[in-house]
């Protein structure tokens, strides 16, 4: 039977090229105990341009199965020749009532298709009670000293809205007096907005000048570098890059005026930073330097320049 399962797995992998699977360390626990659920996705990526849509969880798997902790989904190479990769996420779960509970299948987006995993079940057992022992009395009530400072703090916590309302009224009164005093003052003209590429290049060149890629704190370095690139993307291409995942950013830029090489540069920069920030991956100093140079090159190639004579924006390809 085991050989048949292995053969079926190899056939499915050969036929479809990708496979999603869920496993669990143990499917039998007591109430409140924890176990680790693993989500595995094996897929080919010969051109290194695959887009993965990973399932997202908040605090629960179902209304009965709670998430205690979870890792980010990280990627590893299974076969470097065929460029087959394995993406995995580990989720620590627990259940706080007895019974048999189903862990539903998850959907993983792979480019334009959806791959569904298997379902699992978990058995939760109660803790046995020793009825041979007698009933123990409830502990007596202890008096606790209630100091004046604690009474004052509780009073402010109870009637905070009164003080907040008084503060708002005072602030409105002062604002009214200030506006009345300076209502005839001519407002100063707004300073011209600094182009996004100038701000980004200044920040990236500072990292280059200070050789920040040599620091031991790789997470801080990659966070600062990629945050600069994400802010540049927001200003340059009108997308909320700081609030999106790497995959979502690339989808937003699918129809943007960016060459395929530059998109590949961007994916490499952001993906490596994700591995450092979330999967505790520690790259070499040379990798940090290459990512910084690619970031500077990406901004230089995609920046928007203004022509003063015609006032028409020109994109530097």
Residue 264 domain flag: yes
306 and 203 inside one domain: yes
Which residue range is the domain that position 68 belongs to? 17-125
How confident is residue 136, by pLDDT bands cut at 50, 70 and 90? Answer: low
Q: Using CA atoms, how far apart are residues 66 and 54, in angstroms rounded to an integer?
A: 19
Last residue of a domain, one of 65, 95, 125: 125
Last residue of a domain, one of 77, 96, 125: 125
Q: Which residue would you say has higher pLDDT here, 263 or 22?
A: 22
Last residue of a domain, one of 70, 90, 125: 125
pLDDT digits (tens, 9 = 90+) for 5-56: 434 444 444 444 789 999 999 999 999 999 999 999 999 998 888 899 999 9
Give the Cβ contact number of residue 59 at 10 Å.
8
* pTM tops 0.95, yes or no: no
Q: Which residue would you say has higher pLDDT here, 200 or 121?
A: 121
Q: Which of 86-90, 125-129, 237-241, 302-306 has the lowest mean pLDDT?
A: 302-306
Give the CATH number, domain containing residue 21: 2.60.40.740
Residue 33 domain flag: yes
36 and 117 inside one domain: yes
103 and 212 inside one domain: no
CB 87 within 8 A of CB 54: yes
Mark 209-227 as b/e (b = at least 16 C-beta within 10 Å). Answer: eeebbeeeebeebbeebbe
CB 52 within 8 A of CB 41: yes
Q: 40 phi and psi, to 5 degrees? A: -120, 140
User: Percentage of the chain with pLDDT > 90?
Assistant: 27
Q: State how many domains the chain has.
A: 2
101 and 212 inside one domain: no
């Amino acid at each position: 039977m085991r050989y048949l399962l292995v053969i079926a797995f190899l056939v499915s992998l050969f036929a479809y090229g990708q496979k999603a699977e869920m496993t669990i360390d143990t499917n039998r626990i007591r109430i409140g105990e924890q176990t680790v659920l693993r989500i595995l996705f094996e897929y080919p990526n010969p051109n290194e341009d695959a887009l993965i849509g990973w399932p997202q969880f908040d605090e629960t798997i179902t209304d009965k199965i709670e998430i205690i902790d979870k890792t980010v989904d990280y990627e590893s190479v299974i076969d470097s020749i065929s460029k087959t990769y394995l993406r995995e996420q580990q989720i620590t779960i627990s259940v706080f009532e007895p019974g048999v509970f189903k862990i539903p299948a998850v959907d993983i987006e792979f480019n334009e298709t959806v791959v569904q995993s298997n379902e699992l079940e978990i058995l939760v057992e109660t803790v046995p009670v020793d009825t041979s022992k007698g009933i123990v009395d409830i502990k007596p009530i202890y008096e606790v000293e209630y100091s004046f400072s604690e009474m004052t703090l509780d009073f402010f916590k109870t009637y905070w809205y009164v003080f907040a309302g008084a503060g708002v009224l005072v602030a409105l009164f002062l604002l009214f007096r200030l506006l009345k005093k300076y209502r005839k003052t001519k407002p100063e003209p707004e300073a011209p907005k600094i182009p996004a590429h100038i701000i980004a290049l200044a920040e990236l060149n500072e990292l280059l000048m200070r050789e920040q890629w040599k620091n031991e704190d790789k997470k801080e370095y990659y966070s600062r570098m990629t945050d600069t690139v994400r802010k540049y993307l927001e200003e340059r291409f009108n997308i909320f890059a700081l609030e999106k995942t790497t995959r979502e950013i690339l989808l937003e830029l699918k129809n943007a005026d960016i060459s395929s090489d530059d998109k590949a540069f961007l994916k490499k920069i952001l993906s490596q930073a994700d591995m450092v920030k979330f999967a505790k991956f520690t790259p070499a100093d040379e990798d940090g330097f290459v990512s910084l140079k690619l970031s500077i090159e990406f901004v230089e190639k995609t920046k928007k320049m203004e022509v003063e004579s015609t006032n028409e924006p020109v994109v530097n390809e």
